[in-house]
Chains A and B, each alone.
Chain A
Amino acid sequence: MAILETNDLSIQFGGLKAVSHLDLKIEKGELYGLIGPNGAGKTTVFNMLTGVYQPTGGTIYLDGVCLNGKNPVEINKLGIARTFQNIRLFGKMSVLDNVRVGFGNSIKYSLLESFFHVGRYRKNEKVVTEKAIELLKVFDLDGEKDTLASNLPYGKQRKLEIARAMATNPKLLLLDEPAAGMNPNETAELMNTIRFVRDNFDMTILLIEHDMKLVGGICEKLTVLNFGTELAKGNTAEVLHDPRVITAYIGEDE
């Protein structure tokens, strides 16, 4: 069974059809790319998948559970985590704390235990801190665990966003332009990290990207959006050679 399935997914803002009739089917463990020119509606799709916007038509199923009508918090608990195109870290919190926020729902202790640091607090905090540092190591951020997130260099901020999303223990990870603003070296390193995450955490990843090298390099399947509708989909190599895609998107680029 597909881990994520959308049928006829549509959203309209006033008279504007931002996304219409989108069918996405992502299997477990896939690295799936959602590409398209600016304004094609890619981030809008993410916003619908995560409950920021409610679709005006169609359905979203995550692992068999319908996500329509659910809010972002519920959807995160059901197993979708995301990063943001315009980085949205918890800037005044430390790198470690950013990740520990992600672990928030996987540890249980009461407010009273927090007030006095007793009971389950001690054990759970210890576990969560260890897990968080382990995760930071994957992203090569453990050396900066006490740095404020807003003081990190740009590339590391993007990585921290992925680490924080991973901390919520998702079934599906949504990455919104993870390589935006990175130089070729950083992008190459990021590609390795994304692959590593997929392989070692058995993660399913859906990513939005402009960088064709990154898309071609790591995505197995693609859906191309243009003006809110699906232009093409299928295996990466085929889609990237589709003449319609080249005219609509890549032709523009080169």
Chain B
Amino acid sequence: MSSFFSYLIAGISLGGIYALIALGYTMVYGIAKMLNFAHGDVIMIGGYVAFTAISTMQQPVWIAVPCAIIACILLGVVIEKVAYKPLRSATPLAVLITAIGVSYLLQNVALLIFGSQARNFTSVVPDDFSVSLGSINISGETVVTILASVAIMVALTLFVNHTKSGKAMQAVSEDRGAAQLMGINVNRTISLTFAIGSALAGVASVLLCSTYPQISPYTGAMPGIKAFTAAVFGGIGSIPGAMIGGVVLGVIENLSKAYISSELSDAIVFAVLIIVLLVKPTGLLGKKINEKV
């Protein structure tokens, strides 16, 4: 029983990371109606910035982590301005391919600078953060991840629902044209959304690399896809959906790794997504859209 709880808690922690990444996907989708395929690679870059700060430049954690977050924000905003903004009126497929191009670009930049081999990442969490509950040992990374994700999700929910900028984001995501007519600065709101999504990616990057202490140019790809899955699972465009989707996915992944098969855990995660979409074609909390005839 105690092993079940430790798997469950580790799953929640992984799910917290997925949720942070999924929030980036879902917010950007809600507001720009695009799949930001490069989001996973922004995480990878964040990881490398933290890695460089800690291992190469020997900086303390309290400098390294903000550096990673700021780098992600800058990167996210620049990508939006340079690659996505000119394509606002283009087809979704054109934007998707551009995002894929950006993803390739980031991976190859990392490849050129850091090489293809995985580097060891020094955890940003001190050893004495681990907690023992009876016979269950919870690692410091897990504790910090869960606390950080909960704090961020609460803060984000408050921000979106109770600030002017947050409401502007909701309005733009509901109807961009109407929002613009109401005097909302759409470009600024979209930039802000990318900035927040990327900041969450920055936090996720440090947590992810601390939990699985390695980094390579492809570190962001699979977690990115899984988090994207989580966002769809929860209903893409829905912020609470992304949080629930991320946590549920993380738990399913960890439990199936422990109890069913570690090789097939990815397959199981994706199978759950498919089943959910068959029952609810727009995800758990997604809105149904009817076409007017």
Contacts and interface: CB of A to CB of B under 8 A. Distances in A.
A14 to B, nearest CB: 13
Contacts of B293: 43, 47, 52, 84
Interface in A1-53: 43, 47, 52
A52 B290 CA distance: 12
Nearest to A82: B293
Contacts, number: 4
Interface residues of B, number: 1
B67 to A, nearest CB: 49
Interface in A62-100: 84
A52 B293 CA distance: 8
A43 B293 CA distance: 8
A88 to B, nearest CB: 8
Interface residues of A, number: 4
A84 B293 CA distance: 8
A47 B293 CA distance: 8
A209 to B, nearest CB: 18
B113 to A, nearest CB: 44
A111 B293 CA distance: 31
Nearest to B291: A52
Interface string B273-293: 000000000000000000001
Contacts of A43: 293
A65 to B, nearest CB: 23
Contacts of A84: 293
Nearest to A88: B293
Nearest to A50: B293
B93 to A, nearest CB: 14
A220 B293 CA distance: 27
Interface in B28-77: none
A43 to B, nearest CB: 7
Contacts of A52: 293
A89 to B, nearest CB: 15
A13 to B, nearest CB: 10
Nearest to A84: B293
Nearest to A72: B293
A174 to B, nearest CB: 12
Contacts of A47: 293
Interface in A174-198: none
Nearest to A85: B293
Nearest to A176: B293
Interface string B250-293: 00000000000000000000000000000000000000000001
Nearest to B292: A86
A11 B293 CA distance: 15
A53 to B, nearest CB: 8
Nearest to A47: B293
Interface in B121-160: none
Q: Which 4 pairs of residues, A with B, have the shortest CB-CB distance?
A: A52-B293, A47-B293, A84-B293, A43-B293
4 contacts: A43-B293, A47-B293, A52-B293, A84-B293
